[in-house]
Structure 1
């Protein structure tokens, strides 16, 4: 089961543009990070947001079309699964109906103070993200 999609608007600014005149590929990953963090901050309780942080473990990105200065794009992300301290997201970045990039990413939730992996509680996973929390060990998927 996956949670509901979360949309995050993005305005392409001059600092996003590379020497080829379009958005630099690395910026897409920044957008994914901004989107995933905004999703967490919107849905998680304030005490969870304050006590947890996120680090990226893996990104798999497929670039479809370039984005350009002043484009208005939307990053839409879906939390597909929570497994222990890891969360798995699928994010699609669009300009209107055009898909610009598709990103599968894996994130690790960490305790903000100790910076050690921290599980998302079953209650937060079910109440905020509408999904079961899985306790299995990560097997490299």
Structure 2
């Protein structure tokens, strides 16, 4: 795990389902939030507005539950990147307890045409500083 980006989230009442824990769909929202926040962080010095990312696939393992008021630390990092796709890993922790781990395959698109674009050196330099 290199170049790990971290975000902290506090579980609110809107995140809780009728089983009194964080709903699975909330984790997907959080995954999108941390991915876009990380991309914004990576590109703050060298913006790349000509590209957008879209999800192709999520793999999520729900290991433990989180409840109201829990402080969740989310860690993310970029894995294999080639062609038009990039893999992003995420782990959700309450203190040192791993709650959820996920792997998402993203595709890069041209922001104007919405057509897939090959990931070039300018993006690679941002993803792997």
TM-score by length of 1: 0.83
- In the TM superposition, what is the alpha-carbon distance from 1:107 to its structure 2 partner? 0.6
Q: Distance in 1 between matches of 2:28 and 2:63?
A: 14
State the partner residue of 1:14.
Answer: 13
Aligned positions of 1:1-141 closer than 5 A: 3-44=2-43, 45-46=46-47, 48=48, 50-125=49-124, 127-130=125-128
- In the TM superposition, what is the alpha-carbon distance from 1:3 to its structure 2 partner? 4.5
Q: Distance in 2 between matches of 1:13 and 1:104?
A: 24
For the residue of structure 1 that corresponds to 2:115, the secondary structure is coil
Aligned residues: 127
Q: Which 5+ residue runs of structure 1 have no aligned equivalent?
A: 132-141
Q: Distance in 1 between matches of 2:5 and 2:83?
A: 22
Q: Distance in 2 between matches of 1:128 and 1:61?
A: 26
Q: Which 5+ residue runs of structure 2 have no aligned equivalent?
A: none
